[in-house]
Amino acid sequence: MPYQEPEYLPWDGRRVPITFVAGYLGAGKTTAINELLAVTDRPIAVLVNDVGEINIDAALIARRHGDTVELTDGCVCCSLIDGFGAAFDQLRARETPPDHVVVELSGVADPDRMTPWGNSAGFMLDGVVVVVAADQLLDGDQPPAVNEAIESQVAKADLIVLTKTDLIGDEQRALVDARLSELAGDTPIFVVGASDPAAGRFLALGGRRPDGVAATATPSLFDAHTVATLPFGPFESVVAADAALQQVLDESPGTVMRAKGIVATDDDRLHLVQVVGRRREITPLPMSEFAAPTPLTIISLA
Ligand SMILES: Nc1nc2c(ncn2[C@@H]2O[C@H](COP(=O)(O)OP(=O)(O)OP(=O)(O)O)[C@@H](O)[C@H]2O)c(=O)[nH]1
Ligand SMILES: [Mg+2]
Ligand SMILES: [Zn+2]
């Protein structure tokens, strides 16, 4: 049965602001949300949509924050609508509402498809934050569908969070700024990692732009991506894990845009595997005593 909106208003009619965090695969959405949670003690509920069977992000956020709802194996805007409705029902069933809801959308989600949820009983849309990786916006070596997806997301932002500026030089940065101003000239840009603390501007969007995006459906980007879940590890060492990762990536059909997982080594340590485009890293998993190894999720474009 399709999701049915409740007819009652929870919390005596009070509406909780909701922020959607969009941005292409690996742009830095979870990192930005964690930065935000690290500097606030307000009760914020986080909904995490991770494509693939395993929700790695929910583990990464829950580590420092108790109030996370996972939405896994599909994209909320394409195939997980009912799951998203159920998550909202779960929030509405709480006696005390959270102060704010932050929804990390899947990397392929179209924010336009989600903004109507801002009218759902008990909630109000605060805004759409689009996370953009500075090293990816102008990358001409990736499938053009990726550039198109990023540009389409940027056009729908109420606020842009620019990440990974540390990975590009000043010249490239100037080109990125120019492109962003072409794509979304009047949208405020917040650079993560600058001396400014992330919290305030991220959430205090205060209402949508009056000329905000129209609720027009666009073709599904989700369908263009294939998701694979592979067993991975344990390995003798990080070096061995990295070699195996290289092999998995080489053998994956299509262009691998994103891979992640938690892998074990023989010394009983856990490591976070992060692949974004051509960059890959395996780093010690902080607070790994609360986590378990996972298979590797690999998202590719044909
Ligand atoms: N150099 C650099 N790396 C970053 C920055 N922000 C995020 N990363 C790295 O980029 C990788 C992906 O970050 P995530 O925060 O997981 O990205 P995401 O958008 O949540 O990814 P998905 O949910 O899988 O789409 C991780 O290895 C991060 O450490 C940044 O500003 N600079
Ligand atoms: Mg994430
Ligand atoms: Zn979708």
pLDDT in tens, 32-62: 888 778 777 778 899 999 888 888 888 888 7
Determine the pLDDT at residue 201: 53
Query: Residue 28: CB within 6 Å of ligand 1?
Result: yes
CB 61, CB 48: distance < 8 Å: yes
Select from 55, 176, 276, 294 the residue to mutate for testing ligand 1; criterion: most ligand atoms less than 8 Å from CB: 276
Query: Residue 29: CB within 6 Å of ligand 1?
Result: yes
Determine the pLDDT at residue 221: 60
Residues 6+ apart with CB under 8 A from 233: 241, 244, 263, 264, 265, 293
CB 103, CB 20: distance < 8 Å: yes
- Going by the DSSP 8-state scheme, the letter that residue 241 receives in this structure is H
Do residues 111 and 167 share a domain? yes
Determine the pLDDT at residue 110: 92
Please give the number of the atom of ligand 1 that sits closest to the Cα of 192.
31
Query: Residue 193: CB within 6 Å of ligand 1?
Result: yes
Do residues 153 and 260 share a domain? no
**In a domain? residue 222:** no
> How far apart are the C-alpha atoms of 23 and 268, rounded to whole Å?
34
27 C-alpha to center of ligand 1: Å?
A: 5
Nearest to 108 by CA among 223, 186, 1: 223
Do residues 260 and 182 share a domain? no
Residues 6+ apart with CB under 8 A from 161: 23, 28, 32, 129, 130, 131, 132, 189, 190, 191, 192, 202
Query: Residue 27: CB within 6 Å of ligand 1?
Result: yes
**In a domain? residue 248:** yes
CB 50, CB 58: distance < 8 Å: yes
> How far apart are the C-alpha atoms of 164 and 136, rounded to whole Å?
9
Residue 157 CB coordination number (10 Å): 26
Nearest to 90 by CA among 122, 63, 66: 122
Residue 253 sits in which domain range?
231-301
Whether this prediction's pTM lies above 0.75 is answered by yes
Residue with tokens 């409740």: 6
**In a domain? residue 226:** no
CB 258, CB 225: distance < 8 Å: no
Query: For the domain that residue 102 is a member of, what is the CATH number?
Result: 3.40.50.300
Do residues 240 and 181 share a domain? no
Residues 6+ apart with CB under 8 A from 119: 125
CA dist 295 to 97, 244, 289, Å? 35, 13, 18
Which segments in the chain show pLDDT lower than 50?
199, 206-219
How many structural domains comprise the chain? Answer: 2
Determine the pLDDT at residue 35: 79
Crossing angle of helices 144-155 and 170-184, in 10° steps, is 60
Do residues 142 and 40 share a domain? yes
pLDDT in tens, 128-175: 999 999 999 999 999 999 999 999 999 999 888 899 999 999 999 999
> How far apart are the C-alpha atoms of 260 and 272, rounded to whole Å?
7
> How far apart are the C-alpha atoms of 157 and 294, rounded to whole Å?
33
**In a domain? residue 160:** yes
Determine the pLDDT at residue 5: 77
Residues 6+ apart with CB under 8 A from 116: 215
Retrieve residue 291's tokens: 């986590």
The residue contributing the CA closest to ligand 1 atom 9 is 28
Do residues 66 and 134 share a domain? yes
What distance lies between CA 234 and its chain's CA centroid?
A: 27
